[in-house]
Structure formats: C-alpha cells, structure tokens
C-alpha cells in the first residue's frame, strides 16, 4: 500500500512485520532492524523527494565513490517510549546540526531540516511497536549519508543517498570496562576529521582496539596524535575523569567529537552543583591521581552506551584498578539522563522532543 504524506514523503508500508520474530529480552546491539527505512537521494544538484519503504537490501554499483574515497558520515540517536505510550527523541536538533557539520567537512551536501524531522517522525510512527517502554529499552536510530555516484575519479561525488535505519536496543555495556591508554596509534589529528562522525574514523580504530582486546581491555582511551600526552576520547565515547569531587573532560577541537551526551553531562553537572572543568588533561596527571588515591572515577559518555564506567586502565605497562566510588557520578548522571529520556523526571532544558 502506498500513501503520500503532505505531498512531501512517499510512504510504502511493509506488507508484513518481522516484529513477532524478535526476542526483545535478548538483543545484540545493532543486529536487528525494524520494518521500514527512510531514503532520500541527491541528484541533479538537489535532494529529491524522500521515501519511506520496507527495510531491504539495495543495489549500488561497485564504482560508487563511497567504496573508493570514503565519503560517508552518520549519526547515532535513540527514541524512547514512556509508560503511557508516548514516544520521545533526545535533543535531535543537535544530531541534525552535527550530521550537516560532518557532511560539510566531507564535501557532502547538507540535508534539509524539514526532510530530516518529517522523515524521522513518519518513520517512528510506522515502526512505533518496535519502541519498547522501560528504562534501558530504546530504538537506536542511524541516519547516514553515502556517496553513490558511479565514478572512480578522485573528486567529490555528484550523487548521494541519505538514509535512516532503526534497531531496537538494550544496554550497550552491562559491566564496567577496562581500557588501554594509547601510546602509538591515534584516532585523529589536527586539521583532520576527528570532530566529524565520518565512517573512516571508526574503521581506523578497529585494528588498535583489537590489539587492546588481546591484552584484556575492551576499549582504548585515545591521546593526542602529536605527543600522546593528552587524554581525549575513549573508544567511541567522550571521556570524563573525577578527581576527588571535581569532574574533568577535554575541550572539543577538530580532533574530538562534540558529543550530545557529553554536553548533556556538562549541563547536568552544573544543575547538580558538581564542579566540572573543561580543559586539557594529561596522562601524567591521571596516573598521579590514581597513585595518590584522588582519582575516583573514569567514565565514557555516548548515545549507545549512555554512561560507561571504567574499572581499570593501563599505560606504559602500569595498570591501575579503579575501586567503585561511593556516590558514583557515573551512576548519578546515567540515572538522571535515563529519567529525562524516558519522561520520568522534569525536563527543564527542553531536551525531550515528543513524536505526536
């Protein structure tokens, strides 16, 4: 069945749903996808009419520029449902602005705001049953753009595809993680694309992360490319350090992603009266704090994991175990964020965006 919503988005509904085949209590992150997807192509110098269609494989030529020059960016978002059946997004304007910032850096045309929000809302209404209520449950949303023009000359593409796919999700990390502080490999460099959610940023992390995993660590805390003296990010998350009762996180720059969860934690720290410094922090400072007992917590912050505590770190052969803190900031921020996201507490900053 085909309908047309406000003459702007063409919608083709799936004839049957896969939802009855899904065990929502035993989900592997990012492996199960909902019944529909959003698609919009850029051709002839403009974005074409958006479509929502059944989730399906797509045909793309082997000469598509994305395969050769890596023109691809993405976002990570979540939809939440409260006990009354209302559905919410969390700060979606930030994701919209960031995917266009990422696109601009990769010479990809920016996507129209009305297409983005109307597409998201129409998609979530169609796949509403896939959004389960309860703290910890969500629907992960993956907007992304790829260069589709079939040409292998080394230049920006003239054709692109913007898509949104959805995957039901539970908790990303169930236990605290052990991390290795980078001494050789880098996530990004000055003047590069570290601030963008470019696909290649993440592919480049896989090899050094696999080396860390062989040593018994789940993730890497990345350091600056020039000196490896300054702590910047953790795996696919921004990173926070608690020294005594002070929270510290690195400032954003062209190497560090301006995370939505990161800026939310900074605001919540202010709301809760927690001293939060945004400044450069050295490996030496953290190691000394670990030795003298003033390092109370390290945790990552990101959309998929929300807040992920770190239980130990290694650097230059030195291993430091981190004892779980009394009155943990990580737990406080996680519960506060989840309560806002699931409409269980006041949203005084207007972060929730209801799908009506």
For the segment 211-235, what is each residue's pLDDT rounded down to a tens digit? 999 999 999 999 999 999 999 999 8
Contact 142, 123 (CB under 8 A): no
Cα separation of 15 and 96, whole Å?
A: 30
Cα separation of 80 and 92, whole Å?
A: 12
Beta strands, E only, 194-268: 219-223, 231-234, 237-243, 246-249
Q: Are strands 87-90 and 77-81 parallel, antiparallel or unpaired?
A: antiparallel
For the segment 183-205, what is each residue's pLDDT rounded down to a tens digit? 999 999 999 999 999 999 999 99
User: Which residue would you say has higher pLDDT here, 6 or 205?
Assistant: 205
> Where on the phi/psi map is residue 326: left (φ > 0), alpha (ψ -120 to 50), or beta?
beta
pLDDT exceeds 70 at position 338: yes
Cα separation of 247 and 170, whole Å?
A: 27
User: Which residue would you say has higher pLDDT here, 178 or 4?
Assistant: 178
pLDDT exceeds 70 at position 173: no
Residue 175 burial (CB < 10 Å; 0-12/13-18/19+)? exposed
pLDDT at 5: 54
Is residue 3 within a helix (H) or strand (E), and if so which, with residue range? strand 2-5
- Please name every residue paired with 239 in a beta bridge, in sequence order, or none if there are none: 300
Cα separation of 130 and 292, whole Å?
A: 48
Residue closest to 299 by CA, chosen among 340, 272, 255, 269: 269
pLDDT at 325: 84
pLDDT at 352: 98
Domains of the chain: 2-169 (3.30.470.10), 177-341 (3.20.10.10)
pLDDT at 301: 96
Give the Å distances, CA to CA, from 28 to 171, 172, 198, 231, 307: 9, 9, 24, 30, 18
User: Biggest alpha carbon distance in the chain?
Assistant: 66
User: What is the overall mean pLDDT for the chain?
Assistant: 95
Q: How confident is the model at residue 305 (pLDDT cuts 50, 70, 90)?
A: confident
């Amino acid at each position: 069945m085909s309908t047309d919503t406000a003459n702007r988005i063409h919608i083709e509904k799936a004839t049957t749903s896969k939802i009855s085949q899904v065990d929502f209590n035993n989900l592997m992150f990012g492996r199960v996808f909902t019944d529909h997807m959003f698609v919009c192509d850029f051709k002839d110098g403009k974005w074409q009419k958006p479509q929502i269609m059944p989730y399906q494989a797509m045909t793309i030529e082997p000469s598509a520029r994305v395969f050769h020059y890596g023109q691809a960016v993405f976002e990570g978002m979540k939809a939440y449902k409260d006990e009354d059946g209302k559905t919410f997004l969390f700060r979606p304007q930030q994701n919209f602005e960031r995917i266009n910032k990422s696109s601009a850096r990769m010479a990809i045309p920016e996507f129209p705001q009305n297409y983005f929000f109307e597409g998201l809302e129409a998609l979530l209404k169609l796949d509403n049953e896939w959004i389960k209520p309860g703290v910890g449950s969500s629907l992960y949303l993956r907007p992304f753009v790829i260069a589709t023009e079939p040409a292998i000359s080394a230049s920006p593409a003239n054709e692109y595809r913007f898509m949104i796919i959805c995957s039901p999700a539970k908790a990303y990390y169930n236990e605290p993680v052990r991390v290795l502080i980078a001494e050789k490999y880098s996530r990004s460099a000055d003047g590069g694309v570290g601030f963008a959610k470019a696909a290649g940023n993440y592919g480049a992390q896989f090899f050094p992360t696999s080396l860390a995993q062989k040593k018994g660590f789940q993730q890497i805390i990345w350091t600056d490319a020039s000196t490896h003296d300054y702590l910047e990010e953790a795996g696919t998350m921004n990173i926070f350090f608690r020294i005594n009762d002070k929270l510290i996180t690195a400032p954003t720059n062209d190497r560090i992603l301006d995370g939505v969860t990161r800026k939310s934690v900074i605001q919540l720290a202010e709301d809760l009266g927690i001293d939060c410094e945004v400044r450069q922090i050295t490996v030496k400072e953290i190691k000394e704090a670990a030795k003298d007992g003033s390092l109370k917590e390290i945790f990552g912050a990101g959309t998929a994991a929300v807040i992920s505590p770190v239980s130990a770190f290694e650097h230059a052969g030195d291993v430091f175990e981190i004892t779980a803190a009394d009155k943990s900031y990580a737990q406080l921020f996680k519960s506060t964020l989840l309560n806002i996201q699931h409409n269980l507490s006041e949203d005084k900053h207007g972060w929730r965006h209801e799908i009506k």
